[in-house]
Amino acid sequence: MPLNEEQLQQKRDERREQILSAALKVFARRGLIGTKMSMISEEAGISQGLMYRYFTSKDELFITLVERAIQGSIEGTKQIHQMPGSPLEKLTRLTEIILDEDGQLYFLLMHQVRTSDDVPEKAKALLEYASMDVYVDMLKPVFEEGQKNGELAEGDISELISCYFTVISGLMTLNIPKTQGFQLPRVELLMRMFTRL
């Protein structure tokens, strides 16, 4: 029995997600320059010809993943305002989400965009949507409330939020190669850096 248009579209969407998932893994491990479309098709378990029906180039794939990473990061950070609990509890939960293993591949991708000269200009231009100012603005109300109720450390809020993301980025970078002897600290221990003494 032939598939109807809705079923066909669902199959196309699933295939596109399969390609994006494979591309994320390969780009995260090998970078844009070290990645070939054949590696992505092999990771996805499909032919290169079929992959080119969905994406015309590895740059297009890379940019699509960068857009997705930025959107997911911003939406994920905004969730802090809907989380239950005190500001410290919200920040603790957000940190657990950020440090989750699923986020590491996207982190690696974004790290490449920020640090590599060999990524498409369009990918670099997308970074303006994920500047530190964007995240400071999103987290500022939580930090203000946390300072007001005595939970979070005193000081310049923008500097504290920048410090928070610098620490998170450093931890993610250290954890990338699964370095022997290194393990991420417990989130509760990490949060002590931002609590009032």
pLDDT classification of 83: cutoffs 50, 70, 90: very high
CB 61 within 8 A of CB 20: yes
Given this model, what pLDDT does residue 104 score?
80
CB 173 within 8 A of CB 111: yes
pLDDT digits (tens, 9 = 90+) for 60-75: 999 999 999 999 989 9
Percent of the chain residues topping a pLDDT of 70: 96
pLDDT digits (tens, 9 = 90+) for 147-186: 999 999 999 999 999 999 999 888 887 765 555 666 778 8
What Cα–Cα distance (Å) separates residue 175 from each residue in 17, 24, 31, 168, 178? 26, 17, 17, 11, 5
- Can you tell me the distance from the alpha carbon of 23 to that of 131, in angstroms, rounded to the nearest whole number? 24
pLDDT digits (tens, 9 = 90+) for 31-47: 999 999 999 999 999 99
- Can you tell me the distance from the alpha carbon of 92 to that of 125, in angstroms, rounded to the nearest whole number? 31
CB 154 within 8 A of CB 96: no
Give the residue among 197, 147, 193 at the shortest CA–CA distance from 170. Answer: 193
What Cα–Cα distance (Å) separates residue 33 from each residue in 50, 101, 102, 120? 22, 24, 23, 11
pLDDT digits (tens, 9 = 90+) for 90-148: 999 999 988 887 778 888 898 889 888 889 999 999 988 888 899 999 999 999 999 99
Does domain 5-191 fall into CATH 1.10.3660.10? no
Given this model, what pLDDT does residue 173 score?
75
Model pTM? 0.84
